Amino acid sequence: MKKKVSVLDMKKMKQEGKKFTMVTAYDYTSASIVDSSTAELILVGDSLGMVMLGYDSTTGVTMEEMIHHIRPVVKGAPNTFIVGDMPFGSYNVSVEEAIKNSNRIMKEAGCDCIKLEGGVEFADTIEAIVKAGIPVMAHLGLTPQTTAQLGGFKVQGKDLKTAQKLIKDIKAVAKAGAFAAVVECVPSKVAKLMSESVDIPIIGIGAGPDVDAQVLVTQDMMGMYDKFTPKFVKKYSNIRDIMIKAYDEFNEEVKEGSFPSPEYSFNINVEGIE
Ligand code: KIV
């Protein structure tokens, strides 16, 4: 059985050049499957809004929805480090509100840390949450909660000015005490520089190979979500087709009468009933 990694283990893995992975899960069964794998971290991301709840974006996800989904993941994966995402609106009103909502996610859901989107502008908030005793994972680059401001789901840091801002962002969140950062949709060379600028692990998604860890959304990598597949997603399976085939087979067998066969029935003689 694998041993749950700690924040210190992740820092050590970066120092030793050992890569690790994070995948998403939003329910007990999926979490227990990840727990049986070698993946070190689970992210209960607000991507659940899109892949589990059918929303068009992540901005509508609420604190209650996050807590509702993080709780069963914590139960299902006792040997995996669990990251709980802070939904949009839960940390951008005031530092006090951010600490209050981080406390809620940690206490009511029981995860190991919180994740929030933002760089320099959120350094004070990160510092305050860390001072309150809560480990923080930052999220930079393409920040899905603010795609309206970014002009859509676009690669970030494509010119010198925005690339330099990303370097400032990663340094600011590391200085503020974030123990790791997700870096999404950034040119590989910029992501490499970001990783080299700090001693905290960078967990890339669409950020190339020269970072310290990688994260993918389960529904994307398993070929379950069919609305949109970003360029950076490798499909490691095609669960959607496998499930459709199984549902079709079940339906066909029921219609033709071959299921349930005696093997799947309770063939007990009940006295008085022929
Ligand atoms: O919510 C999420 O799943 C994420 C990943 C895209 C990193 O933030």
Pairing status of strand 81-85 against strand 41-44: parallel
Residue 148 lies in a domain: yes
Please give the pLDDT value at position 260: 98
What's the domain range around 32? 7-238
* 85 Cβ closer than 6 Å to some ligand 1 atom: yes
Please give the pLDDT value at position 32: 98
Atom of ligand 1 nearest to the CA of 117: 8
List all residues 6 or more positions away from 223 whose beta carbon is below 8 Å from its beta carbon.
Answer: 235, 237, 238, 239, 240, 241
Structure tokens at 208: 């190339």
Please give the pLDDT value at position 23: 98
**Choice from 215, 218, 225 to test ligand 1 binding pocket (greatest atom count within 8 A of CB):** 215
Structure-token match 């990303």, residue found: 166
Atom of ligand 1 nearest to the CA of 43: 3
Residue 80 lies in a domain: yes
Give the SS3 label for residue 172. helix
Residue of 184, 253, 256, 263 marked catalytic? 184
Please give the pLDDT value at position 274: 82
DSSP 153: S
- Give the Å distance between the CA of 40 and the centre of ligand 1: 16
* 46 Cβ closer than 6 Å to some ligand 1 atom: yes
**CATH number, domain containing residue 53:** 3.20.20.60
Please give the pLDDT value at position 52: 97
Residue 49 lies in a domain: yes
Q: CA–CA separation, 150 vs 143, rounded Å? A: 8
Residue 178 lies in a domain: yes
Residue 169 lies in a domain: yes
Atom of ligand 1 nearest to the CA of 215: 7
* 217 Cβ closer than 6 Å to some ligand 1 atom: yes
Residue 252 lies in a domain: no
Residue 245 lies in a domain: no
Atom of ligand 1 nearest to the CA of 46: 1
Q: Is 27 a known ligand-binding residue?
A: no
* 215 Cβ closer than 6 Å to some ligand 1 atom: yes
**Choice from 34, 53, 58 to test ligand 1 binding pocket (greatest atom count within 8 A of CB):** 58
DSSP 117: E
Domain total in the chain = 1
The segments of the chain whose pLDDT lies below 70 read: none
Q: CA–CA separation, 224 vs 28, rounded Å? A: 17
Residue 129 lies in a domain: yes
Please give the pLDDT value at position 148: 81
256 is catalytic: no
